[in-house]
Structure 1
Amino acid sequence: MSKWTYSIFITYLLLGIYVLVVAIQIPYIGISLDINREQPVMTEFYYPHWAQQNNIEKGDLLLTIDGKPPEDVRSIQLNSFVRSAKELTFMKANGDVHSVSVKHKDIPEEFYLQIIFPLFYFVLSFSVAIYLWRRNKDNLLTSLLLLFLLTCSLTYISTGASIRGNLIGGFVISIGIVLCMVLFIHFLQFYFRYLHIEWQYLNTKWLYLTLLFIPCCDIIKKINSDFWTITSLIKLGMFAALVLFAIFILLSSYLRTKLAKIRLITIAFITPFLPFLLLFVMPEIFGLNTILHAEVAASFLLFIPFSFIFIQVNERLFDIEYQLSRLRYYSTLAFFCALILTTGITLLFIDKLSIVEITSIFILVFLVIIASFYIKEQLDFKYRKIIFSSTGNYVHNLYAAVNRMGKVKNQQELLDQFKYEITEKLGTTAFTIISITEDVAFTHGEVSIENEMTHLLLHDTGEEKTILKISHALQKEEFLWLELLALYVSMFIDNLKLIEDLICEIRHMQDNNDTQLPWLDKLLWNIIENEKSILAQELHDTILQEQLHLARELDVISSLPIIKKEKVLDIREQLLNASKDLREYCENLSPPLLDTFGLQIALKKLIQKVKIRADFLLKAQIERVHFQDATLHLVVYRLVQELLNNAIKHADATEVLLKLQVIDGGFILQYDDNGIGCDIEDLMQSSTSMGINGIRERVRAFNGDITITSSHNEGMHIFIQILEDVESYD
């Protein structure tokens, strides 16, 4: 974290905590007074419901505020207004004197709108800012967006302190309402530059000059309290002008470019700021009664982090359409659930809850439900193998069924396996699979129900149609499972037919002694050329470069009057090393010991080399194996070679066990290490899994089975079993 970023976050936290503590220390009550009499008289109440509950009425005389006489309270001296108090003493018209202890819980509107909501917004904005900063460090767009979010949040959380007359809270709000708009417009200017959109508006650097008016207004207000209202209206006017200017920029830019990114930012900006502008700022500027109190209208600012958290400002907007559609879906579900729950709570406590409390309950429940949906989504994905392992889960069963059917070798085996899956999953044998030549009324993959008989077209070649008939009704989940599985079956049949046709073509070529198969020749030619290219690149980057270097060294020596023996010996040593590397390349391409002395000797030689290079203790148990198919000897050698190479490069192990065991008709190769291990799913998706994938493909090419188990810090364990296909040699 840079010093500037660190300073910004620390300042944000300190100021936020300070103004929040100021708001928590003493409740806000907001009582207007008439001080033209001998004793101040209460005339208006900011929270009339609270006043009514405590039997405070217009015309009551205010005697003391927290034990002080009214004339000693500064807010009364300046504005004839009681901002906050912990205790009030007042006299009724009949002479009765009452004392009221003021607590936050007695004024829920004040407690939620000035403490709870600002605190929630403060924490949320800070979290979003950290998220943006960590994903896009040293990015000007991110920095501007981060500052905008923090400024909005700090301004909102300062409302409680400002309305209580705190100087720091008032100054933060005065600066914040203007600064946040300037930062947002500054962000737009650079974002337009990133999008290659021409900026046709006022340069943002001139807008920063408006911040100079804020201290001037505060100084004038301090000098002459008569300018209190005017300076406040000037600040609100500046804020309104900047909001309208930002809206104008966004709307005109969208109409000009029609870019979805501009539309999304426009919605994200207008949603929180327009209600605050129309319902509070504009009526206040024109001297009208505000539609909503300032803190109520400011609560719309809560939408800012939720809107901008979806905007990834680095190289692009990430898949925001998907995120927004998911948010809309969750919000719709959460809205109705929250509405039902809030209605139930309201009916139970209909005489005890105010409108503000009911609204607060609804918002809290709404947010909790949305958060629960996202948490459930993450947990479902994390524990999907446990949650979806029951037989009742159709998705897991479909995956397992497709995996099993993928191992069949012909169409008849495929249909037999399909029948087995239907019997196991649907629990019925009342079905048949028939082939017809007539046309049918339903399309491929479509389920049709006629006379309580379920029909499904599995495959259609035009001349012949394969149809599944089930003689009883199915549930909705069973329909979906059957439709999806049938689509896989149809694709499998197509692929099997292609493979069968290919085999027939190759056999026909073999029977006729016809070696002309152009597509196969082309495929083999491309494979050979590709391998040549890889080998050429390896030799060029290693041995050839080394030899060119040695040639230059010899040129330098030949031009010297005296040739030093040490230099010649050094070049000789480098030549020997290059020859050694070349020999290793040749052995890797075609191990000479494998053809000369057999697999066991070749493996022992390979293991000896690995023991010299490796940092781990290698224990090997190699049994003598022999196959009718000579290529299997090379397969075993390559598998062992790749396993040990992976151990050297990636395992970080201290012990490695390699075991080659003979079984009836084949062999078992077992590999175990105590290294760092890995997550198998992450490994298969990473670029470092080329070796493991190569091993898997080599095993599958020979119809073998491979099992890989591993987890972090638990090592890796690989079990390979291959059986020789003896039928091809009969």
Structure 2
Amino acid sequence: MKTWTYSIFLLYLVLGIYVLGIAIQTPFISITLDITNGQPVIVDPYYPQWAQQKNIEKGDIVVTIDGKPALENRSVQLDAVIRSANTLTIQKRDHTVHAITVKHRDIPEELYLQILFPIFYFLLAFVVALYLGYRNKNNVPMFLLTLFLLTCSLAYISTGASARGNFIGGIVIGVCIVLCMVLFIHFLQHFFHYQHIQWSYMHSKWLYLLPLIIPCCYIIEGFIPTMRALTPPLNLSLFALLVLYAIYILVTSYLRTKLAKLRLIAIAFIVPFLPFLLFFVTPEILGHNPLLHAEVAALFLLFIPFSFLFIQVNERLFDIEYQLSRLRYYSTLAFFSALLLTAGIALLFMGQLSIVHLTSIFLLVFMVILASFYIKERIDFKYRKIIFSSTGNYVHNLYAAVQRMGKAKTQQELLERFTYEITEKLGTTAFYIQTVTEENTTIKQQDNYTQLLLHDAGDEKIILEIRHALQKEELLWLELLALYVSMFINNLQLIEDLVREIQHMKNTSDTALPWLDKLLWNIIEKEKSILAQELHDTILQEQLHLARELDVLAESAVIRKERVLDIREQLLNASKDLREYCENLSPPLLDTFGLQMALKKLIQKIKIRADFLLTTHIERIHFQDATLHLVVYRLVQELFNNAIKHAEATEVSLQLQAIPHGFTLQYDDNGVGCDIEQLMQSSASMGINGIRERVRAFNGTITIQSSRNEGMHIFIQIQEDGDSYDEYIDYR
């Protein structure tokens, strides 16, 4: 982040700590007085329950406030209100004098709404803003959205200082409630430009004049005291007009474009601001008593960080429909659960809890339940294979069963494994599998009988019959497993036909195999499609982003040299990535200078990228089959990739040695190692499996030794005249 960005965060931090310090320093009590007779007589306390506890009644005379005469208090002189105090001295009607100590904990409504919630909001907004600012450097829309979040937070946490009559707190809240709307409209203008939507509204730069009106009003108050009564309604009126203007922009633009992202942004904006506008701002402007006090209505602003955290503006605008739909689903569940729990607490403590207490409890329970849903989702996904018992988790058992059955090499072996899975999972032997030729092959389930079609070969059908009823989950598991069995049988039959055709080709020396040409063509086209998708998702997207950056630069009145150099650097990075793609697809040095030179070039690149000490010994090797040169290169490349991504090693060694008619490859590292059995069953073993398959294809042998925190050791040997494949895995 740039220096001025740090300055903005620092200013927010300083102002936030200051206004929160003002609120914490003195409790807010807001007691209305009548001073017409020269004595400060209590008329109406803001917190009647607290006043009753402290024996403060209407008609009592306030003698001193914080040790000074009540009439010398500035708030009493200007507004006939005691805004805040630590101590009060009150004269009762019987002329007795009571000294009252005011503490935050004695007024829970004030403690929650003006101390605890603002502190929580302050910290949350600051952390989210830092995170978004760090992750989205040099991104103007996200920077504006971050400023909007910080300004909303500053406006909310300044309510306590402003309510206590603090001059700085009043200016901060007055400026921020207007400025936050201007920043949001400015963000919309950039968002429209990014989405190539015509901006047919007022340019946002003129709106930045509106926040300057508020400090001017405070300055005029020093010369014209009557202006004090006009400043708050003017401030709220500007806020209301900007909110309505932002809603107008969002609604009209959505009706014009039907863009889903505009609808999502509109919802994220309207939900926090509309209640505050309707229940507090509008009645205040019209001169009526607000339906909700300012600090209660402002609670809706707590939803802003959660709403706009999902609107991530990075190098591109991500699709957040899934995230928000999940948030809506979890929020609905959490809302009704929190509502029921709060209602139960209210009935349990009938008459003992105020509306503020119940609102606080509801919000706390709602947030805890919402967070619990997200945590549960992450835990279930991460530990889904072990979090449930093996007998109850049908989904996990299905994965394991399919993996075990997939190792069958014949149809008979497959059905034997299928029989084993049914016996183990369902705990029954009251079933049999038969081959039938009748037409009645549909799935049936009666009270004590279940029939399932496993495979349909036209003239013959394989049927499973179980002679007792199954539970719903058991039947679903069995149907899914039967579907896999049918696919496995089809694949085995295709493989058997393929083997017979290849054997026939070998016996008759017939090399014309149209299906083999078609298979190879399909494989080539699939690889092309994968490569095209990778280039589209990486290099092409980067090029499109740079094109947009150049469009913005072309429209600028002043072209900064630093921005041009930044775009040039991004173009060079994209070219470098494309060059690496080409080299990975076809190592250029391999055909020109041979295997040894290509490996040396690869090792130089790895030493630059890796954070471990690499030791290598590469001997010159010659093969009659030129394909083996590429095989060796790919094996070494995959071993290094595995070391960089997963090993977490500090030392890695690799030795390539020539042997008669072949080579040996020894790889060792001192990394974290792994449990080989678990690794082979996880998606993270794709690299190791790729190495094993390459070795298998050339009838080589591979030995893998590894255990946790003991590094990994791999030994590979391939000979051109090899006729068998062997593999040894050490689980130590």
Structure 1's 148 and 112: CA in aligned 2 closer, same or farther, altered over 3 A? same
- Correspondence for 1:467 among 463, 466, 476: 463
Query: After superposition, what is the alpha-carbon deviation per residue over 1:17-72, rounded to whole angstroms, capped at 9, x for unaligned?
Result: 11111111111011111100132111122222222232322222222212221111
| Equivalent residue letter for 2:711 | G
Name the stretch that deviates more: 139-148 or 695-704: 695-704
**3-state SS in 1 of match to 2:401:** helix
Structure 1's 132 and 234: CA in aligned 2 closer, same or farther, altered over 3 A? same
Per the alignment, residue 35 of structure 1 pairs with 35
Cα offset, 1:3, TM superposition: 0.7
Query: After superposition, what is the alpha-carbon deviation per residue over 1:190-210, rounded to whole angstroms, capped at 9, x for unaligned?
Result: 000000000000000110111
Structure 1's 74 and 206: CA in aligned 2 closer, same or farther, altered over 3 A? same
Cα offset, 1:618, TM superposition: 6.9
| Equivalent residue letter for 1:459 | H
1:616 counterpart = 2:615: yes
- Correspondence for 1:480 among 476, 481, 484: 476
Per the alignment, residue 449 of structure 1 pairs with 445
1:184 counterpart = 2:188: no
Q: What does 1:354-365 align with in structure 2 at a 5 Å threshold?
A: 354-365=354-365
Cα offset, 1:364, TM superposition: 0.6
**3-state SS in 2 of match to 1:387:** coil
Structure 1's 676 and 637: CA in aligned 2 closer, same or farther, altered over 3 A? farther
**3-state SS in 1 of match to 2:369:** helix
Name the stretch that deviates more: 137-146 or 705-714: 705-714
Structure 1's 90 and 525: CA in aligned 2 closer, same or farther, altered over 3 A? closer
Alpha carbons 2:589, 2:598 under 8 Å: kept: no
Q: TM-score, length-normalised on structure 2?
A: 0.78
Alpha carbons 1:656, 1:674 under 8 Å: kept: no
| Equivalent residue letter for 1:616 | T
**3-state SS in 2 of match to 1:223:** coil
**Alpha-carbon distance in structure 2 between the residues aligned to 1:359 and 1:537:** 62
Percent identity of equivalent pairs: 63
Structure 1's 584 and 229: CA in aligned 2 closer, same or farther, altered over 3 A? same
Cα offset, 1:103, TM superposition: 1.4
Cα offset, 1:634, TM superposition: 9.4
Structure 1's 534 and 335: CA in aligned 2 closer, same or farther, altered over 3 A? closer
**Alpha-carbon distance in structure 1 between the residues aligned to 2:268 and 2:637:** 55
**Alpha-carbon distance in structure 2 between the residues aligned to 1:367 and 1:339:** 12
| Equivalent residue letter for 1:519 | W
**Alpha-carbon distance in structure 2 between the residues aligned to 1:394 and 1:636:** 46
Structure 1's 618 and 429: CA in aligned 2 closer, same or farther, altered over 3 A? farther
Alpha carbons 1:144, 1:187 under 8 Å: kept: yes
1:56 counterpart = 2:68: no
Per the alignment, residue 269 of structure 2 pairs with 269
Per the alignment, residue 591 of structure 1 pairs with none
**3-state SS in 1 of match to 2:434:** strand
**Alpha-carbon distance in structure 2 between the residues aligned to 1:535 and 1:256:** 48
**Alpha-carbon distance in structure 1 between the residues aligned to 2:624 and 2:714:** 22
- Correspondence for 2:635 among 617, 631, 642: 642
Structure 1's 684 and 442: CA in aligned 2 closer, same or farther, altered over 3 A? closer
| Equivalent residue letter for 1:356 | V
**3-state SS in 2 of match to 1:616:** strand
Per the alignment, residue 564 of structure 2 pairs with none
Cα offset, 1:691, TM superposition: 6.8
- Correspondence for 1:698 among 677, 681, 694: 694
Per the alignment, residue 162 of structure 1 pairs with 162
Alpha carbons 1:114, 1:157 under 8 Å: kept: yes
Per the alignment, residue 285 of structure 1 pairs with 285
Name the stretch that deviates more: 669-678 or 514-523: 669-678
**3-state SS in 2 of match to 1:455:** strand
**3-state SS in 2 of match to 1:429:** coil
| Equivalent residue letter for 1:468 | L
Query: After superposition, what is the alpha-carbon deviation per residue over 1:63-120, rounded to whole angstroms, capped at 9, x for unaligned?
Result: 2212221111000111111101112222333333333221112211111111111111
**3-state SS in 2 of match to 1:325:** helix
Unaligned runs of 5+ in 1: 545-580, 589-613, 621-629, 661-666
1:395 counterpart = 2:391: no
| Equivalent residue letter for 1:201 | Y
Per the alignment, residue 95 of structure 1 pairs with 95
**Alpha-carbon distance in structure 1 between the residues aligned to 2:625 and 2:424:** 38
Q: What does 1:52-451 align with in structure 2 at a 5 Å threshold?
A: 52-384=52-384, 386-387=386-387, 390-440=390-440, 442=442, 448-451=444-447
Alpha carbons 2:615, 2:654 under 8 Å: kept: no
- Correspondence for 1:672 among 668, 686, 692: 668
Cα offset, 1:133, TM superposition: 1.6
Alpha carbons 1:132, 1:146 under 8 Å: kept: yes
**3-state SS in 1 of match to 2:56:** coil
Q: Say what the alpha-carbon RMSD is for the aligned residues.
A: 4.1
1:717 counterpart = 2:713: yes
**Alpha-carbon distance in structure 2 between the residues aligned to 1:332 and 1:116:** 25
Question: Considering only CA atoms, is the larger Rg found in Structure 1 or Structure 2?
Answer: 1
Cα offset, 1:449, TM superposition: 2.1
Structure 1's 22 and 528: CA in aligned 2 closer, same or farther, altered over 3 A? closer
Structure 1's 87 and 78: CA in aligned 2 closer, same or farther, altered over 3 A? same
Name the stretch that deviates more: 392-401 or 20-29: 392-401
Alpha carbons 1:280, 1:291 under 8 Å: kept: yes
- Correspondence for 1:499 among 487, 491, 495: 495
| Equivalent residue letter for 2:433 | I
**Alpha-carbon distance in structure 2 between the residues aligned to 1:5 and 1:644:** 43
Cα offset, 1:387, TM superposition: 3.0
Cα offset, 1:390, TM superposition: 4.3
**3-state SS in 1 of match to 2:230:** helix
Alpha carbons 2:32, 2:44 under 8 Å: kept: yes
Cα offset, 1:645, TM superposition: 8.1
Alpha carbons 1:434, 1:466 under 8 Å: kept: yes
Query: After superposition, what is the alpha-carbon deviation per residue over 1:641-662, rounded to whole angstroms, capped at 9, x for unaligned?
Result: 83598359857764648899xx
Structure 1's 685 and 7: CA in aligned 2 closer, same or farther, altered over 3 A? farther
**Alpha-carbon distance in structure 1 between the residues aligned to 2:376 and 2:640:** 38
**Alpha-carbon distance in structure 1 between the residues aligned to 2:702 and 2:382:** 25
Unaligned runs of 5+ in 2: 529-580, 601-612, 658-662, 726-732
Query: After superposition, what is the alpha-carbon deviation per residue over 1:657-693, rounded to whole angstroms, capped at 9, x for unaligned?
Result: 8899xxxxxx99975322577999899989xx99755
Structure 1's 33 and 191: CA in aligned 2 closer, same or farther, altered over 3 A? same
Query: After superposition, what is the alpha-carbon deviation per residue over 1:424-456, rounded to whole angstroms, capped at 9, x for unaligned?
Result: 11211111223334445856xxxx421321233
Alpha carbons 2:447, 2:469 under 8 Å: kept: no
Structure 1's 640 and 223: CA in aligned 2 closer, same or farther, altered over 3 A? closer
Alpha carbons 1:699, 1:706 under 8 Å: kept: yes
1:45 counterpart = 2:41: no
Alpha carbons 1:616, 1:653 under 8 Å: kept: no
**Alpha-carbon distance in structure 2 between the residues aligned to 1:156 and 1:215:** 18
Alpha carbons 2:595, 2:629 under 8 Å: kept: no
**Alpha-carbon distance in structure 2 between the residues aligned to 1:696 and 1:539:** 21
**Alpha-carbon distance in structure 1 between the residues aligned to 2:353 and 2:599:** 85
| Equivalent residue letter for 1:372 | S
**Alpha-carbon distance in structure 1 between the residues aligned to 2:664 and 2:385:** 28
| Equivalent residue letter for 1:642 | L
Name the stretch that deviates more: 303-312 or 83-92: 83-92
Cα offset, 1:346, TM superposition: 3.2
**Alpha-carbon distance in structure 2 between the residues aligned to 1:455 and 1:631:** 58
Structure 1's 300 and 654: CA in aligned 2 closer, same or farther, altered over 3 A? closer
- Correspondence for 2:485 among 489, 493, 496: 489
| Equivalent residue letter for 1:91 | Q
Alpha carbons 1:658, 1:672 under 8 Å: kept: no
